[in-house]
Every structure is written in C-alpha cells, then in structure tokens.
Amino acid sequence: MRAVLADLVSFLLYFPLLSASLLFRGTKRDAPYEQVNDHPGWSHQNEDKDEPDKYFHESSFSEHYDGRFATAPLIYEDRQSHLTALLRTYMSSMRDIGAETWIMHGTLLGWYWSRTILPWDGDLDVMISEKSLYHLASFYNMSMHHFSLPGAPNEPRVRHNYMLEVNPHYKNSSVESVNKIDARWIDTETGLFIDVTTLRRNKTAQALGEEDAMMVKDRHHYYHDDIFPLRSTTFEGVPVNIPFAYAEILIEEYGEEALSDVHFLNHRFDIEKQEWRALRYAELVRYREHGAMLGSTFWGKAADSESYFPD
C-alpha cells in the first residue's frame, strides 16, 4: 500500500515536469540534434544549463562551438583557417542573398590592424540590418549552403555544409539577455559558428527625441550615422562592409590603446609583415621580464629571436 502511494506521488510529480520539458522542447529550443545531424552520436549542447527560453545553445566544452555539430574544439592552428572559411562563406552567401551585413567588435578590430581575423579571437561578430533579418527569417531559415573549400596542401577540396538558422524570437526587439542572438551561421563540419545580431531602431530613445538612436539586443547602442553609410572594403580576402565611423566605434568599445598597443594576450604585432603572431616561449619570457615596449628592445628582440629561435 505504502509503495503504491509513493509510486503515485512520484508519478504525479514527474508527469508535469516531463510534459513541461517536452513542451519547451517543441517550441523554444534550437532545431533538435536528430533532425540536423546525420552522423550517429549524441549532442554536446549544454541546453540543460541554459535558461528555458534560450533558443541557441553552445557546446558543453566551449562557448564558441555548436554542440550539435562538434564533439571537441579545434586546435589553435586549425581553428584559424576554419574561422576564415566560415567568414568567407557567410559574406559570400549574404552577398548572394542581398542581405545588408557588416563586421563589428573584435572582427572589426582585426580588420583595422591587419585585414585578418585576430589569432586569439575565438568567434566572429557580424551585424545585420533589421530589414535583412526579416528577409532571412522569411526565406532562408534552416537553409543549407554547400561550399567546396581548398583542403590542406596536396589534399583534395573538402565539402563543407553551412546552415543558416534564425531565432524564432527575432521579432522581439526589446533588450533581453537570453535571445540576443538573432541568427546563426554554422559550419556543420566543425561546429564553429557566427552569431548574427541585428541593429534595430531604439524606439525608447526615439520617443525621447533622439531620432537616430539605434540599439542591439545585447545592449550595444549606436547612432545611425556612425554605422551608415557602410563602407565597402576587404577582409580575409573577400569584400565586406564596415561601419562608417569604424575608428570611433572601436575606441568607444575598446579604448584608445586598442588602436596602438602592439602586445595583446601573448601575441605581438609584426610591423614589417603587418600581422599578429603568437609569441614563442623565449619571447614570452623576455616579454614578462622586460615588459612590452615598442622601443629599440622591440626591434632588437625581433632581430634576435630570428637568429636564436628559427621557426
């Protein structure tokens, strides 16, 4: 009798939980693993840890990977080329579709320094105009884009499938922490992705008389004329757009030093080659001892490290 009662209680407790989770699963979660991945295995998404309303999830091992398509992060040397391919395919697809998109944040900083992705940057930041987002949501949600990419040297080209997934909360333009990402461009081979955020009118500020106030759901605020008209330039060898007042935006976000410091996160900017590279161990030790300077030591070290520590 007592056992039966316990069973009943546990069943009554369990059932609503089950039904609730099934309900959320059906309406508010990113596309289920079984539907988007044709490889046998299991999902590495950390959806159980996220808020129930969150649509996009990240992998359990890194926030820069989609766990539905990856089991482990890429190594440092490989990540760079996959990110580059991710950006190129995104830009080319958006150009074909006619969507108005541009690079922002860390990606824009990489453009400013070297026209390439910063080597320590694990993700890419792009923005899209509201009109273009609605266009993507209406016609391109869950579309697969096939690219044949050059493989490693002396290897055949590899096929990569990229998926464009739009967040069903995209029409909600209020600031929120859970669904600030409006769309995602995902490399289904590696799980790397680009988060797409939308530049919207800031209706609150516009009601207060600031007519050209714009906002993004992740609490970034911009003026219309700082972003538009977009400038067209090149990045990673492909045509991209950047905001009009790129320098002001970078200083506003990262401070003046972001445009002048030649050392960052154990990387150093090579002025001759105009590119960032990771410091080798010996350089790292000297950097820790003598500090980071662009003085004669900087150039001297560049010369010494070439002779003492050949690649």
Partner 1 sequence: MPKEQRRENYEQSLGAWRARLQATNQTRKPLIEKVTNTWREDEKFRVAEECDTKEPNFCDLDDENSFPSLSVKAIRSRRFRRMFAVLVLVSVGMYYIWTRHIRPSVQEGWELKQGFLPAQVNGTYGVAKGGHFDGVRIKDIDATYVPGGNKDPEGNRRLIFVGDIHGCKDELKHLLKKVDFNSKTDHLVATGDVVSKGPHSPGVLDLLIHYGAESVRGNHEDRLLEAAKTLSGSDNKRDDAMSTSKGYSKDAELLKELKPHHMRFLHDMPLMLRIPALPFATSSWRKDKHNIAEETIVIHAGLVPHVPLERQDPYFVMNMRSIDHKTHVPSALRETKKGNSKPWMHIWNWYNNRLAKGRSIKGFHIWSYAEWLNQRVTGSWISNSWSSMSKKQPQPQPQVAVYGHDSKMGLQMHRWSKGLDTGCASGGKLTAMVLDAKGKTEIVQVKCDSYRT
Q: Which residues bind partner 1 (CB under 8 A)?
A: 112-115, 130-131, 201, 206, 211-212, 214, 224-225, 228-233, 242, 244-248, 251, 255-257, 259-263, 269, 271-272, 274, 292-296, 298-300, 302-303
Are the CB atoms for 195 and 125 separated by under 8 Å?
yes
Q: Report, in Å, the least distance between residue 143 CB and partner 1.
A: 24
Report which of 87, 84, 64, 102 is spatially closest to residue 249, judged by C-alpha positions.
102
Q: Whose Cβ is closer to partner 1: residue 144's or residue 271's? A: 271
Q: Whose Cβ is closer to partner 1: residue 96's or residue 272's? A: 272
| SS3 at position 197 | strand
Q: Report, in Å, the least distance between residue 295 CB and partner 1.
A: 4
Q: Whose Cβ is closer to partner 1: residue 82's or residue 286's? A: 286
Q: Report, in Å, the least distance between residue 113 CB and partner 1.
A: 4
Strand spans (E) along the chain: 101-103, 124-129, 143-149, 158-166, 183-187, 193-201, 213-215, 221-223, 231-235, 238-242, 263-264, 267-270, 275-278
Q: Whose Cβ is closer to partner 1: residue 176's or residue 275's? A: 275
Q: Whose Cβ is closer to partner 1: residue 150's or residue 239's? A: 239
**Tokens 């369990």 -> residue:** 14
Are the CB atoms for 111 and 237 separated by under 8 Å?
no
Q: Report, in Å, the least distance between residue 231 CB and partner 1.
A: 6
Q: Report, in Å, the least distance between residue 307 CB and partner 1.
A: 13
Q: How many CB atoms lie within 10 A of CB 202?
A: 22
